[in-house]
Structure 1
Amino acid sequence: MKLYPIQCGKFKLDGGAMFGIVPKTLWQRTNPADENNLIELGTRSLLVEDGKKLILIDCGLGNKQDEKFFGHYSLYGDDTLDKNLKKYGFVKEDITDVFLTHLHFDHCGGAIEWNDDRSGYRPAFKNAHFWTNENHWKWATEPNPREKASFLKENILPMQESGQLNFLPTPKSGNYGFAPDLKMDVIFVDGHTEKQMLPVIQYQEKTIVFAADLIPTAGHIPQVYVMGYDTRPLLTMEEKGKFLKQCVDNDYLLFFEHDAHHELASLKMTEKGIRLDQTFSMNEVFGY
Protein backbone atom coordinates (compact mmCIF):
# COMPACT_ATOMS: atom_id res chain seq x y z
CA MET A 1 0.00 0.00 0.00
CA LYS A 2 1.01 3.63 -0.61
CA LEU A 3 -0.66 6.89 0.36
CA TYR A 4 -0.39 10.12 -1.61
CA PRO A 5 -1.57 13.62 -0.60
CA ILE A 6 -3.43 15.23 -3.51
CA GLN A 7 -3.97 18.98 -3.21
CA CYS A 8 -6.99 19.72 -5.43
CA GLY A 9 -6.89 23.50 -5.05
CA LYS A 10 -6.90 26.31 -2.52
CA PHE A 11 -9.55 28.84 -1.56
CA LYS A 12 -10.48 31.27 1.19
CA LEU A 13 -13.40 31.57 3.59
CA ASP A 14 -14.41 33.99 6.31
CA GLY A 15 -12.41 33.20 9.44
CA GLY A 16 -15.33 33.92 11.73
CA ALA A 17 -17.51 31.39 9.91
CA MET A 18 -14.75 28.81 10.12
CA PHE A 19 -14.31 29.25 13.89
CA GLY A 20 -17.85 30.00 15.04
CA ILE A 21 -17.99 31.62 18.48
CA VAL A 22 -14.21 31.51 19.04
CA PRO A 23 -12.85 35.10 19.17
CA LYS A 24 -10.64 36.23 16.33
CA THR A 25 -7.89 37.16 18.79
CA LEU A 26 -7.53 33.41 19.45
CA TRP A 27 -8.01 31.78 16.04
CA GLN A 28 -5.87 34.25 14.11
CA ARG A 29 -2.81 32.94 15.96
CA THR A 30 -3.00 29.72 13.93
CA ASN A 31 -5.06 30.85 10.91
CA PRO A 32 -4.23 34.50 10.16
CA ALA A 33 -6.82 36.44 8.17
CA ASP A 34 -6.28 38.88 5.31
CA GLU A 35 -7.75 42.38 5.11
CA ASN A 36 -11.15 40.89 4.22
CA ASN A 37 -11.11 38.52 7.22
CA LEU A 38 -10.54 35.54 4.90
CA ILE A 39 -8.31 32.63 5.88
CA GLU A 40 -6.41 30.29 3.57
CA LEU A 41 -7.82 26.79 3.11
CA GLY A 42 -7.05 23.77 0.96
CA THR A 43 -8.98 20.91 -0.56
CA ARG A 44 -6.51 18.10 0.09
CA SER A 45 -7.55 14.60 -0.93
CA LEU A 46 -5.85 11.36 0.00
CA LEU A 47 -5.07 8.73 -2.63
CA VAL A 48 -4.79 5.13 -1.42
CA GLU A 49 -3.02 2.69 -3.74
CA ASP A 50 -3.22 -1.00 -2.87
CA GLY A 51 -2.95 -3.71 -5.53
CA LYS A 52 -5.68 -3.16 -8.10
CA LYS A 53 -7.46 -0.63 -5.91
CA LEU A 54 -6.86 3.10 -6.28
CA ILE A 55 -9.12 4.93 -3.83
CA LEU A 56 -9.49 8.71 -3.81
CA ILE A 57 -10.87 10.19 -0.58
CA ASP A 58 -12.81 13.35 -1.48
CA CYS A 59 -12.10 15.29 -4.66
CA GLY A 60 -12.30 19.04 -4.10
CA LEU A 61 -14.40 21.76 -5.69
CA GLY A 62 -14.03 20.73 -9.34
CA ASN A 63 -14.17 23.33 -12.08
CA LYS A 64 -17.69 23.22 -13.55
CA GLN A 65 -19.32 26.00 -11.52
CA ASP A 66 -19.54 29.48 -13.01
CA GLU A 67 -17.34 32.50 -12.31
CA LYS A 68 -19.91 34.03 -9.96
CA PHE A 69 -19.93 30.89 -7.80
CA PHE A 70 -16.17 30.62 -7.55
CA GLY A 71 -15.96 34.37 -6.93
CA HIS A 72 -17.36 33.76 -3.45
CA TYR A 73 -14.41 31.52 -2.54
CA SER A 74 -11.32 33.50 -3.62
CA LEU A 75 -9.55 30.61 -5.37
CA TYR A 76 -5.78 30.96 -5.49
CA GLY A 77 -2.69 28.97 -6.50
CA ASP A 78 -2.18 26.51 -9.35
CA ASP A 79 -2.96 23.19 -7.66
CA THR A 80 -5.49 20.96 -9.41
CA LEU A 81 -6.58 17.37 -8.98
CA ASP A 82 -5.35 16.41 -12.45
CA LYS A 83 -1.97 18.07 -11.95
CA ASN A 84 -1.29 16.35 -8.65
CA LEU A 85 -2.55 12.93 -9.75
CA LYS A 86 -0.11 13.21 -12.66
CA LYS A 87 2.68 14.02 -10.18
CA TYR A 88 2.41 10.43 -8.93
CA GLY A 89 1.84 8.88 -12.35
CA PHE A 90 -1.97 8.61 -12.31
CA VAL A 91 -4.95 9.97 -14.24
CA LYS A 92 -8.65 10.06 -13.35
CA GLU A 93 -9.37 6.93 -15.39
CA ASP A 94 -7.12 4.96 -13.00
CA ILE A 95 -9.32 5.65 -9.97
CA THR A 96 -11.36 2.59 -8.93
CA ASP A 97 -13.22 4.12 -5.96
CA VAL A 98 -14.10 7.65 -4.84
CA PHE A 99 -14.85 7.70 -1.12
CA LEU A 100 -16.83 10.82 -0.18
CA THR A 101 -16.70 11.88 3.46
CA HIS A 102 -19.84 13.92 2.77
CA LEU A 103 -21.51 15.65 -0.15
CA HIS A 104 -20.84 19.34 0.47
CA PHE A 105 -19.62 20.96 -2.74
CA ASP A 106 -16.02 21.47 -1.56
CA HIS A 107 -15.68 17.73 -0.94
CA CYS A 108 -17.46 16.23 -3.96
CA GLY A 109 -17.56 18.93 -6.66
CA GLY A 110 -14.68 17.30 -8.52
CA ALA A 111 -16.64 14.04 -8.85
CA ILE A 112 -18.78 15.41 -11.68
CA GLU A 113 -17.84 17.34 -14.82
CA TRP A 114 -19.51 18.81 -17.89
CA ASN A 115 -20.20 16.65 -20.94
CA ASP A 116 -18.04 17.55 -23.93
CA ASP A 117 -20.85 19.66 -25.45
CA ARG A 118 -21.80 21.11 -22.01
CA SER A 119 -25.35 19.85 -22.44
CA GLY A 120 -25.26 18.00 -19.13
CA TYR A 121 -23.02 16.32 -16.59
CA ARG A 122 -21.08 13.06 -16.27
CA PRO A 123 -18.85 11.43 -13.66
CA ALA A 124 -15.28 12.73 -13.83
CA PHE A 125 -14.07 9.25 -12.79
CA LYS A 126 -15.66 7.00 -15.38
CA ASN A 127 -14.22 3.74 -14.00
CA ALA A 128 -14.88 4.39 -10.31
CA HIS A 129 -17.47 3.43 -7.73
CA PHE A 130 -18.70 6.40 -5.70
CA TRP A 131 -19.16 5.67 -1.98
CA THR A 132 -21.43 7.48 0.47
CA ASN A 133 -24.07 6.17 2.88
CA GLU A 134 -27.84 6.04 2.60
CA ASN A 135 -28.54 8.30 5.58
CA HIS A 136 -26.29 11.05 4.25
CA TRP A 137 -27.57 10.62 0.69
CA LYS A 138 -31.12 11.26 1.87
CA TRP A 139 -29.89 14.24 3.91
CA ALA A 140 -28.14 15.67 0.84
CA THR A 141 -30.90 15.08 -1.71
CA GLU A 142 -33.64 16.39 0.63
CA PRO A 143 -31.59 19.20 2.19
CA ASN A 144 -32.51 21.38 5.15
CA PRO A 145 -32.53 25.17 4.55
CA ARG A 146 -29.23 25.63 6.42
CA GLU A 147 -27.26 23.25 4.18
CA LYS A 148 -29.17 23.60 0.91
CA ALA A 149 -26.54 25.88 -0.63
CA SER A 150 -23.82 23.29 0.07
CA PHE A 151 -25.63 20.34 -1.55
CA LEU A 152 -25.65 21.07 -5.29
CA LYS A 153 -27.76 18.69 -7.39
CA GLU A 154 -25.29 18.77 -10.27
CA ASN A 155 -22.58 17.45 -7.93
CA ILE A 156 -24.71 14.65 -6.54
CA LEU A 157 -27.44 13.25 -8.77
CA PRO A 158 -25.20 12.26 -11.75
CA MET A 159 -23.49 9.70 -9.48
CA GLN A 160 -26.79 7.87 -9.14
CA GLU A 161 -27.87 8.41 -12.74
CA SER A 162 -24.63 6.86 -14.00
CA GLY A 163 -25.13 3.70 -11.93
CA GLN A 164 -21.82 4.28 -10.13
CA LEU A 165 -23.27 5.17 -6.72
CA ASN A 166 -22.78 2.80 -3.78
CA PHE A 167 -23.85 2.98 -0.13
CA LEU A 168 -21.86 1.84 2.88
CA PRO A 169 -24.02 0.38 5.64
CA THR A 170 -24.26 2.70 8.64
CA PRO A 171 -23.38 0.90 11.89
CA LYS A 172 -25.32 1.56 15.04
CA SER A 173 -22.06 2.40 16.77
CA GLY A 174 -18.31 2.18 16.29
CA ASN A 175 -16.37 1.74 13.06
CA TYR A 176 -17.25 0.02 9.82
CA GLY A 177 -14.72 -1.95 7.77
CA PHE A 178 -14.91 -0.34 4.31
CA ALA A 179 -12.26 -2.51 2.74
CA PRO A 180 -10.80 -5.06 5.19
CA ASP A 181 -7.90 -5.98 2.90
CA LEU A 182 -6.83 -2.33 2.93
CA LYS A 183 -6.93 -2.07 6.74
CA MET A 184 -9.34 0.85 6.43
CA ASP A 185 -12.23 1.54 8.80
CA VAL A 186 -14.77 4.37 8.95
CA ILE A 187 -15.87 6.55 11.87
CA PHE A 188 -19.32 8.13 11.50
CA VAL A 189 -19.98 11.57 13.03
CA ASP A 190 -23.12 13.73 12.89
CA GLY A 191 -22.28 17.19 14.25
CA HIS A 192 -21.17 18.84 11.02
CA THR A 193 -23.70 17.05 8.83
CA GLU A 194 -25.62 13.79 8.99
CA LYS A 195 -23.33 10.70 8.92
CA GLN A 196 -20.08 12.30 7.82
CA MET A 197 -17.54 9.49 7.31
CA LEU A 198 -13.92 9.65 8.51
CA PRO A 199 -11.60 6.98 7.05
CA VAL A 200 -9.13 5.36 9.44
CA ILE A 201 -6.16 3.79 7.68
CA GLN A 202 -3.42 1.50 8.99
CA TYR A 203 -0.21 2.32 7.14
CA GLN A 204 3.42 1.49 7.88
CA GLU A 205 2.72 0.76 11.56
CA LYS A 206 0.86 4.06 11.97
CA THR A 207 -2.83 4.95 12.04
CA ILE A 208 -3.95 7.90 9.95
CA VAL A 209 -7.40 9.46 10.28
CA PHE A 210 -8.76 11.60 7.45
CA ALA A 211 -10.21 14.34 9.65
CA ALA A 212 -12.44 15.97 6.97
CA ASP A 213 -14.72 18.60 8.57
CA LEU A 214 -14.61 17.29 12.13
CA ILE A 215 -11.17 18.92 12.42
CA PRO A 216 -10.62 20.85 9.17
CA THR A 217 -7.29 22.51 10.07
CA ALA A 218 -4.64 22.26 12.77
CA GLY A 219 -6.17 25.40 14.27
CA HIS A 220 -9.42 23.53 14.93
CA ILE A 221 -7.96 20.90 17.27
CA PRO A 222 -9.22 22.36 20.60
CA GLN A 223 -12.56 20.76 21.44
CA VAL A 224 -14.60 24.00 21.49
CA TYR A 225 -13.17 25.31 18.19
CA VAL A 226 -16.20 24.39 16.10
CA MET A 227 -17.16 25.81 12.71
CA GLY A 228 -20.17 28.05 12.28
CA TYR A 229 -21.15 25.76 9.41
CA ASP A 230 -21.88 22.80 11.70
CA THR A 231 -25.55 21.85 11.93
CA ARG A 232 -25.25 20.51 15.49
CA PRO A 233 -22.31 22.32 17.15
CA LEU A 234 -22.88 20.86 20.62
CA LEU A 235 -22.81 17.38 19.13
CA THR A 236 -19.62 18.24 17.25
CA MET A 237 -17.98 19.16 20.56
CA GLU A 238 -19.07 15.89 22.11
CA GLU A 239 -17.84 13.90 19.10
CA LYS A 240 -14.56 15.80 19.02
CA GLY A 241 -13.94 15.14 22.70
CA LYS A 242 -14.29 11.38 22.24
CA PHE A 243 -12.36 11.42 18.98
CA LEU A 244 -9.44 13.45 20.34
CA LYS A 245 -9.09 11.13 23.31
CA GLN A 246 -9.10 8.14 20.94
CA CYS A 247 -6.38 9.82 18.87
CA VAL A 248 -4.13 10.54 21.87
CA ASP A 249 -4.66 7.12 23.44
CA ASN A 250 -3.75 5.34 20.20
CA ASP A 251 -1.14 7.74 18.74
CA TYR A 252 -3.24 8.49 15.65
CA LEU A 253 -2.03 10.99 13.08
CA LEU A 254 -4.58 13.46 11.70
CA PHE A 255 -4.67 14.08 7.94
CA PHE A 256 -6.04 17.56 7.25
CA GLU A 257 -8.25 18.19 4.25
CA HIS A 258 -8.68 21.95 4.62
CA ASP A 259 -5.39 23.05 6.15
CA ALA A 260 -3.60 24.95 3.38
CA HIS A 261 -0.16 24.39 4.90
CA HIS A 262 -0.14 21.22 7.04
CA GLU A 263 -0.79 17.65 5.88
CA LEU A 264 -0.42 15.60 9.07
CA ALA A 265 -0.35 16.25 12.80
CA SER A 266 0.19 14.39 16.05
CA LEU A 267 -1.60 15.33 19.28
CA LYS A 268 -0.65 15.56 22.95
CA MET A 269 -2.40 15.97 26.29
CA THR A 270 -1.76 19.28 28.06
CA GLU A 271 -3.11 21.08 31.13
CA LYS A 272 -5.59 22.85 28.83
CA GLY A 273 -6.73 19.65 27.16
CA ILE A 274 -5.66 17.92 23.96
CA ARG A 275 -3.61 20.14 21.69
CA LEU A 276 -1.40 20.02 18.62
CA ASP A 277 1.92 18.28 19.16
CA GLN A 278 3.74 18.41 15.81
CA THR A 279 2.87 18.86 12.15
CA PHE A 280 4.46 16.84 9.35
CA SER A 281 4.38 16.33 5.63
CA MET A 282 3.74 12.84 4.28
CA ASN A 283 7.29 12.89 2.98
CA GLU A 284 8.73 13.56 6.44
CA VAL A 285 6.81 10.66 8.01
CA PHE A 286 6.95 8.09 5.23
CA GLY A 287 9.97 9.14 3.19
CA TYR A 288 8.45 9.96 -0.19
Structure 2
Amino acid sequence: MNLHTINTGFFKLDGGAMFGVVPKSIWQKSNPADANNMCTWAMRCLLIEDGDRLILIDNGIGDKQDEKFLGYYYLHGDDTLDKSLAAKGFSRDDITDVFLTHLHFDHCGGSIIRQGDGRLRPAFKNAFYWSNAKHWAWAVNPNEREKASFLKENILPMQDSGQLRFIEDKDGIAFHEGINIRFAYGHTDAMMLPQIQYKQKTIVYMADLLPSVGHIPLPYVMAYDMFPLKTLNEKKAFLQEAMDKQYILYLEHDPVNECCTLQQTERGIRLDQTFDLASI
Protein backbone atom coordinates (compact mmCIF):
# COMPACT_ATOMS: atom_id res chain seq x y z
CA MET A 1 0.00 0.00 0.00
CA ASN A 2 1.16 3.52 -0.85
CA LEU A 3 -0.38 6.74 0.43
CA HIS A 4 -0.22 10.05 -1.45
CA THR A 5 -1.19 13.54 -0.34
CA ILE A 6 -3.52 15.17 -2.87
CA ASN A 7 -3.82 18.93 -2.44
CA THR A 8 -6.74 20.62 -4.21
CA GLY A 9 -6.11 24.23 -3.16
CA PHE A 10 -7.10 26.57 -0.34
CA PHE A 11 -10.29 28.37 0.58
CA LYS A 12 -11.45 30.72 3.31
CA LEU A 13 -14.09 30.42 6.02
CA ASP A 14 -15.15 32.73 8.80
CA GLY A 15 -12.83 32.31 11.77
CA GLY A 16 -15.59 32.68 14.34
CA ALA A 17 -17.63 29.94 12.69
CA MET A 18 -14.58 27.67 12.62
CA PHE A 19 -13.91 28.03 16.35
CA GLY A 20 -17.39 28.38 17.84
CA VAL A 21 -17.42 29.74 21.38
CA VAL A 22 -13.64 30.29 21.54
CA PRO A 23 -12.80 34.04 21.43
CA LYS A 24 -10.94 35.44 18.45
CA SER A 25 -8.22 36.77 20.77
CA ILE A 26 -7.32 33.14 21.44
CA TRP A 27 -7.90 31.31 18.13
CA GLN A 28 -6.20 33.92 15.97
CA LYS A 29 -2.87 32.97 17.52
CA SER A 30 -2.95 29.67 15.64
CA ASN A 31 -5.10 30.69 12.66
CA PRO A 32 -4.74 34.41 11.91
CA ALA A 33 -7.68 36.03 10.16
CA ASP A 34 -7.73 38.59 7.36
CA ALA A 35 -9.51 41.96 7.49
CA ASN A 36 -12.83 40.21 6.84
CA ASN A 37 -12.33 37.75 9.70
CA MET A 38 -11.72 34.95 7.19
CA CYS A 39 -9.10 32.24 7.81
CA THR A 40 -7.36 30.13 5.19
CA TRP A 41 -8.00 26.37 5.12
CA ALA A 42 -6.65 23.51 3.03
CA MET A 43 -8.67 20.96 1.07
CA ARG A 44 -6.20 18.10 1.49
CA CYS A 45 -7.33 14.76 0.14
CA LEU A 46 -5.69 11.34 0.34
CA LEU A 47 -4.95 8.81 -2.38
CA ILE A 48 -4.55 5.16 -1.40
CA GLU A 49 -2.78 2.95 -3.92
CA ASP A 50 -3.13 -0.76 -3.19
CA GLY A 51 -2.98 -3.48 -5.83
CA ASP A 52 -5.57 -2.78 -8.48
CA ARG A 53 -7.43 -0.28 -6.28
CA LEU A 54 -6.82 3.47 -6.36
CA ILE A 55 -8.96 5.03 -3.64
CA LEU A 56 -9.41 8.80 -3.40
CA ILE A 57 -10.68 10.10 -0.07
CA ASP A 58 -12.66 13.33 -0.62
CA ASN A 59 -11.98 15.62 -3.58
CA GLY A 60 -12.31 19.30 -2.62
CA ILE A 61 -14.73 21.94 -3.79
CA GLY A 62 -14.43 21.44 -7.55
CA ASP A 63 -14.86 24.21 -10.11
CA LYS A 64 -18.38 23.86 -11.50
CA GLN A 65 -20.08 26.41 -9.22
CA ASP A 66 -20.73 29.91 -10.51
CA GLU A 67 -18.47 32.88 -9.84
CA LYS A 68 -20.79 34.27 -7.16
CA PHE A 69 -20.72 31.05 -5.14
CA LEU A 70 -16.96 30.58 -5.42
CA GLY A 71 -16.47 34.24 -4.50
CA TYR A 72 -17.81 33.55 -1.02
CA TYR A 73 -14.94 31.15 -0.33
CA TYR A 74 -11.91 32.91 -1.88
CA LEU A 75 -10.39 29.88 -3.59
CA HIS A 76 -6.65 30.34 -4.01
CA GLY A 77 -3.35 28.52 -4.41
CA ASP A 78 -1.70 26.71 -7.30
CA ASP A 79 -2.85 23.18 -6.44
CA THR A 80 -5.74 21.47 -8.18
CA LEU A 81 -7.04 17.93 -8.06
CA ASP A 82 -5.84 17.17 -11.58
CA LYS A 83 -2.38 18.68 -11.04
CA SER A 84 -1.90 16.79 -7.79
CA LEU A 85 -2.98 13.48 -9.32
CA ALA A 86 -0.70 14.05 -12.33
CA ALA A 87 2.24 14.76 -10.03
CA LYS A 88 1.79 11.23 -8.64
CA GLY A 89 1.48 9.73 -12.12
CA PHE A 90 -2.31 9.33 -12.16
CA SER A 91 -5.42 10.83 -13.73
CA ARG A 92 -9.10 10.87 -12.77
CA ASP A 93 -9.75 7.90 -15.03
CA ASP A 94 -7.39 5.77 -12.93
CA ILE A 95 -9.46 6.20 -9.76
CA THR A 96 -11.41 3.05 -8.84
CA ASP A 97 -13.10 4.33 -5.67
CA VAL A 98 -14.11 7.79 -4.47
CA PHE A 99 -14.62 7.59 -0.72
CA LEU A 100 -16.60 10.54 0.65
CA THR A 101 -16.27 11.25 4.36
CA HIS A 102 -19.44 13.34 4.07
CA LEU A 103 -21.28 15.33 1.43
CA HIS A 104 -20.53 18.96 2.36
CA PHE A 105 -19.48 20.87 -0.75
CA ASP A 106 -15.83 21.32 0.25
CA HIS A 107 -15.43 17.55 0.55
CA CYS A 108 -17.37 16.25 -2.44
CA GLY A 109 -17.63 19.14 -4.94
CA GLY A 110 -14.98 17.63 -7.18
CA SER A 111 -17.05 14.47 -7.58
CA ILE A 112 -19.15 15.95 -10.38
CA ILE A 113 -18.20 18.10 -13.37
CA ARG A 114 -20.31 20.29 -15.60
CA GLN A 115 -19.95 19.64 -19.33
CA GLY A 116 -19.94 22.33 -21.99
CA ASP A 117 -23.65 21.77 -22.62
CA GLY A 118 -24.39 22.29 -18.91
CA ARG A 119 -25.06 18.66 -18.12
CA LEU A 120 -23.58 17.17 -14.97
CA ARG A 121 -21.63 13.91 -14.94
CA PRO A 122 -19.26 12.07 -12.61
CA ALA A 123 -15.69 13.37 -12.72
CA PHE A 124 -14.38 9.82 -12.13
CA LYS A 125 -16.00 7.69 -14.83
CA ASN A 126 -14.40 4.41 -13.76
CA ALA A 127 -14.98 4.73 -10.01
CA PHE A 128 -17.59 3.74 -7.50
CA TYR A 129 -18.66 6.55 -5.17
CA TRP A 130 -18.92 5.51 -1.51
CA SER A 131 -21.22 7.06 1.08
CA ASN A 132 -23.61 5.47 3.60
CA ALA A 133 -27.40 5.31 3.56
CA LYS A 134 -27.88 7.28 6.77
CA HIS A 135 -25.72 10.19 5.71
CA TRP A 136 -27.11 10.13 2.16
CA ALA A 137 -30.67 10.47 3.47
CA TRP A 138 -29.52 13.31 5.73
CA ALA A 139 -27.86 15.11 2.82
CA VAL A 140 -30.62 14.82 0.22
CA ASN A 141 -33.26 15.98 2.72
CA PRO A 142 -31.23 18.61 4.58
CA ASN A 143 -32.28 20.67 7.56
CA GLU A 144 -32.51 24.43 7.14
CA ARG A 145 -29.31 25.07 9.09
CA GLU A 146 -27.14 22.75 7.01
CA LYS A 147 -28.78 22.86 3.58
CA ALA A 148 -26.31 25.44 2.18
CA SER A 149 -23.55 22.85 2.58
CA PHE A 150 -25.41 20.11 0.69
CA LEU A 151 -25.62 21.05 -2.98
CA LYS A 152 -27.84 18.75 -5.04
CA GLU A 153 -25.64 19.17 -8.11
CA ASN A 154 -22.74 17.67 -6.11
CA ILE A 155 -24.77 14.75 -4.83
CA LEU A 156 -27.64 13.50 -6.98
CA PRO A 157 -25.62 12.85 -10.18
CA MET A 158 -23.67 10.17 -8.28
CA GLN A 159 -26.88 8.21 -7.86
CA ASP A 160 -28.19 9.00 -11.34
CA SER A 161 -25.00 7.59 -12.86
CA GLY A 162 -25.39 4.21 -11.16
CA GLN A 163 -21.94 4.57 -9.60
CA LEU A 164 -23.09 5.19 -6.01
CA ARG A 165 -22.51 2.53 -3.37
CA PHE A 166 -23.26 2.50 0.37
CA ILE A 167 -21.11 1.34 3.27
CA GLU A 168 -22.93 -0.22 6.21
CA ASP A 169 -23.33 2.24 9.09
CA LYS A 170 -21.36 0.13 11.56
CA ASP A 171 -18.38 1.49 13.46
CA GLY A 172 -15.16 -0.33 12.63
CA ILE A 173 -16.49 -1.92 9.46
CA ALA A 174 -13.83 -2.89 6.89
CA PHE A 175 -13.80 -0.98 3.61
CA HIS A 176 -10.68 -2.57 2.15
CA GLU A 177 -7.84 -4.62 3.57
CA GLY A 178 -6.08 -2.39 6.07
CA ILE A 179 -8.84 0.27 6.00
CA ASN A 180 -11.60 0.33 8.60
CA ILE A 181 -14.22 3.04 8.99
CA ARG A 182 -15.02 5.03 12.12
CA PHE A 183 -18.31 6.93 12.30
CA ALA A 184 -18.90 10.33 13.91
CA TYR A 185 -22.27 12.04 14.36
CA GLY A 186 -21.58 15.49 15.81
CA HIS A 187 -20.44 17.48 12.78
CA THR A 188 -23.08 15.94 10.53
CA ASP A 189 -24.97 12.68 10.66
CA ALA A 190 -22.82 9.59 10.00
CA MET A 191 -19.57 11.20 8.86
CA MET A 192 -16.99 8.52 8.02
CA LEU A 193 -13.33 8.58 9.07
CA PRO A 194 -11.01 6.03 7.38
CA GLN A 195 -8.55 4.37 9.75
CA ILE A 196 -5.61 3.01 7.77
CA GLN A 197 -2.89 0.54 8.71
CA TYR A 198 0.27 1.75 6.98
CA LYS A 199 3.91 0.84 7.59
CA GLN A 200 3.01 -0.64 11.00
CA LYS A 201 1.32 2.61 12.02
CA THR A 202 -2.31 3.69 12.32
CA ILE A 203 -3.34 6.77 10.34
CA VAL A 204 -6.79 8.32 10.79
CA TYR A 205 -8.18 10.68 8.16
CA MET A 206 -9.78 13.30 10.40
CA ALA A 207 -12.18 15.06 7.98
CA ASP A 208 -14.15 17.55 10.13
CA LEU A 209 -13.87 15.88 13.52
CA LEU A 210 -10.51 17.65 13.86
CA PRO A 211 -10.03 20.22 11.07
CA SER A 212 -6.61 21.46 12.21
CA VAL A 213 -4.06 21.35 15.03
CA GLY A 214 -5.70 24.55 16.25
CA HIS A 215 -8.80 22.50 17.12
CA ILE A 216 -7.12 20.00 19.46
CA PRO A 217 -8.25 21.59 22.78
CA LEU A 218 -11.66 20.14 23.62
CA PRO A 219 -13.77 23.35 23.62
CA TYR A 220 -12.54 24.26 20.12
CA VAL A 221 -15.61 22.96 18.29
CA MET A 222 -16.89 24.49 15.06
CA ALA A 223 -20.14 26.44 14.95
CA TYR A 224 -20.77 24.51 11.73
CA ASP A 225 -21.29 21.31 13.74
CA MET A 226 -24.93 20.22 13.94
CA PHE A 227 -24.55 18.63 17.37
CA PRO A 228 -21.64 20.36 19.14
CA LEU A 229 -21.97 18.52 22.46
CA LYS A 230 -21.87 15.23 20.60
CA THR A 231 -18.75 16.43 18.77
CA LEU A 232 -17.22 17.34 22.12
CA ASN A 233 -17.79 13.84 23.48
CA GLU A 234 -16.65 12.12 20.27
CA LYS A 235 -13.55 14.26 20.13
CA LYS A 236 -12.71 13.68 23.80
CA ALA A 237 -12.92 9.90 23.44
CA PHE A 238 -11.05 9.84 20.15
CA LEU A 239 -8.17 12.08 21.25
CA GLN A 240 -7.58 9.92 24.32
CA GLU A 241 -7.53 6.77 22.17
CA ALA A 242 -5.33 8.42 19.56
CA MET A 243 -2.79 9.51 22.15
CA ASP A 244 -2.80 6.19 24.01
CA LYS A 245 -2.36 4.17 20.81
CA GLN A 246 -0.04 6.66 19.09
CA TYR A 247 -2.22 7.25 16.05
CA ILE A 248 -1.12 9.61 13.31
CA LEU A 249 -3.83 12.14 12.48
CA TYR A 250 -4.10 13.20 8.83
CA LEU A 251 -5.53 16.72 8.69
CA GLU A 252 -7.80 17.66 5.80
CA HIS A 253 -8.17 21.38 6.53
CA ASP A 254 -5.03 22.47 8.37
CA PRO A 255 -3.42 25.11 6.09
CA VAL A 256 0.13 24.18 7.14
CA ASN A 257 0.31 20.74 8.75
CA GLU A 258 -0.45 17.45 7.00
CA CYS A 259 -0.09 15.10 9.96
CA CYS A 260 0.27 15.27 13.72
CA THR A 261 0.57 13.21 16.87
CA LEU A 262 -0.64 13.97 20.39
CA GLN A 263 0.80 14.12 23.89
CA GLN A 264 -0.48 14.51 27.44
CA THR A 265 0.27 17.84 29.13
CA GLU A 266 -0.79 19.61 32.32
CA ARG A 267 -3.48 21.35 30.26
CA GLY A 268 -4.80 18.13 28.77
CA ILE A 269 -4.11 16.43 25.45
CA ARG A 270 -2.20 18.72 23.13
CA LEU A 271 -0.13 18.69 19.96
CA ASP A 272 3.05 16.64 20.01
CA GLN A 273 4.69 16.59 16.55
CA THR A 274 3.72 17.72 13.06
CA PHE A 275 5.14 16.26 9.85
CA ASP A 276 4.34 15.46 6.23
CA LEU A 277 2.83 12.16 5.17
CA ALA A 278 5.82 11.45 2.94
CA SER A 279 8.11 11.35 5.98
CA ILE A 280 6.39 8.30 7.47
Counterpart-to-counterpart distance in 1, 2:19 and 2:156? 31
- The answer for the alignment partner of 1:9 in structure 2 is 9
Matching residue of 1:176:
173
2:199 is the alignment partner of 1:204: yes
User: Any idea what SS the aligned residue of 1:265 has?
Assistant: strand
2:124 is matched by which residue type in structure 1? F
Q: CA deviation at 1:115?
A: 2.2
**Equivalent residue number for residue 261 of structure 2:** 266
Deviations 1:85-138 (A, max 9, x none): 0000000000000000000000000000012422x1000000000000000000
What TM-score, normalized by structure 1, do the two folds share?
0.96
How far residue 149 of structure 1 moved from its aligned partner, in angstroms, is 0.5
What does residue range 1-288 of structure 1 map to in structure 2 within 5 Å? Answer: 1-118=1-118, 120-171=119-170, 174-179=171-176, 181=177, 183-285=178-280
Q: CA deviation at 1:283?
A: 2.3
Distance 2:174 2:264 in 1: 29
Distance 2:116 2:12 in 1: 30
- Structure 1: gaps spanning 5 or more residues: none
| Higher deviation after alignment, 32-41 or 14-23 | 32-41
2: CA distance between counterparts of 1:192 and 1:282? 25
Deviation, 1:267, is 0.5
Alignment partner of 1:245: what SS?
helix
Cα RMSD, aligned residues only: 0.7
Q: Alpha-carbon deviation of 1:234?
A: 0.4
Residue-by-residue CA offset, 1:223-268 (whole Å, 9 max, x unaligned): 1100010000000000000100110111001101011111000100
CA offset at residue 26 of structure 1?
A: 1.3
Distance in 2 between the 1:283 and 1:170 partners?
Answer: 31
Q: Structure 1: which amino acid aligns with 2:35?
A: E
Cα distance in 2 for residues equivalent to 1:170 and 1:77: 36
Query: Partner amino acid for 1:67?
Result: E
Structure-2 separation of matches of 1:64 and 1:73: 14
Consecutive unaligned residues in structure 2, runs of 5 or more: none
Between the aligned partners of 1:282 and 1:253, the Cα distance in structure 2 is 9
**Distance between the aligned counterparts of 2:146 and 2:6, measured in 1?**
26
TM-score, reference length from structure 2 = 0.99
